[in-house]
Amino acid sequence: MCEPTHYRIDYEINQWMRRANAVRTERANAQWRGLHETLIALGVDVELVEQGADTPDMTFTANAGIVAGERFIPANFRFPERQLEEARFTGWFQEHGYRIETVHEPHYWEGEGDVLPGEGAVFAGYRFRTEFRALDHIDELLGCETVRLELTDPRFYHLDTCLAPLGGGRGLFYPPAFTEESRRALAERFATLIAVSDHDAARFACNAVVAGETVVLNAGCTETVRALREHGLAVVETPMDEFIKAGGSVKCLLLMLDAFGDGRGRP
């Protein structure tokens, strides 16, 4: 995770960002601390990377890349506004003993925002922030064929904004964010798919993280919380509205260090 010391909206690179909609810094810091404390209370070990003054979106660490065993595969950010983050994240992982392996430029891709493990597979979203051809290189590096999912709604520009693998054959998703073919691919991989409403999708219900049998997600997603509990999961709600201003929520604020296990998509 990355404490939002310099988090602000300096530019507009997705449909949520408005420079006129300024971040309330104290509230954002309190919300981030609340998430950090929640994860620690759930038994999650959290490492911190320091944010640069020139990288206001660096707090959204999920986009930094993916960690595959002892390797870090850094993102090739699509927009120049975020490309300064690449060196900072790569430097942190080098200092912590990881081997750096890269996706060939100029193919853009944005890390765990679009590449998520679950159900013994690796799901990969593409169109808005990750280029289809970049996923060929991801397949090579992970040694497996990703399940490619085409995204359709620019509001849900990363896969982790519209899909959350929950474990135990369960998944949380927003159907209109995917093509019909992609919805079929998800149905083949998950025994149970929980569809979120338009209201909850706009509150980033799918941008959730699972710790054990507990799902952590933004506050105010009443229907989704009810559905998750009906499927045997505990739920913790934590407010994230200051981060939704920039197009992110719970999952966007953390990069998993062990989700890919042995580096081949197997936790």
Spatial neighbors of 48 by CB under 8 A, at least 6 apart, are: 1, 2, 3
Q: Is 2 a catalytic residue?
A: no
Out of 158, 162, 206, 221, pick the active-site residue. Answer: 158
Distances 244 to 60, 118, 200 between C-alpha atoms, Å: 11, 25, 12
**First CA to last CA across the chain, in angstroms?**
20
Question: Do residues 158 and 113 make contact, with C-beta atoms less than 8 angstroms apart?
Answer: yes
Out of 2, 162, 206, 252, pick the active-site residue. Answer: 252
Write the Ramachandran bin of 120: left for phi over 0, alpha for psi from -120 to 50, otherwise beta.
left
Q: Can you tell me the distance from the alpha carbon of 86 to that of 56, in angstroms, rounded to the nearest whole number?
A: 13
The alpha carbon torsion through 60, 66, 69, 73 (nearest 10 deg) reads -120
As given in the structure block, the two tokens for residue 73 are 């595969």
Q: Can you tell me the distance from the alpha carbon of 25 to that of 29, in angstroms, rounded to the nearest whole number?
A: 6
Phi, psi of 124 (to 5 degrees): -135, 115
Q: Can you tell me the distance from the alpha carbon of 90 to that of 102, in angstroms, rounded to the nearest whole number?
A: 10
Residues that are catalytic = 158, 252
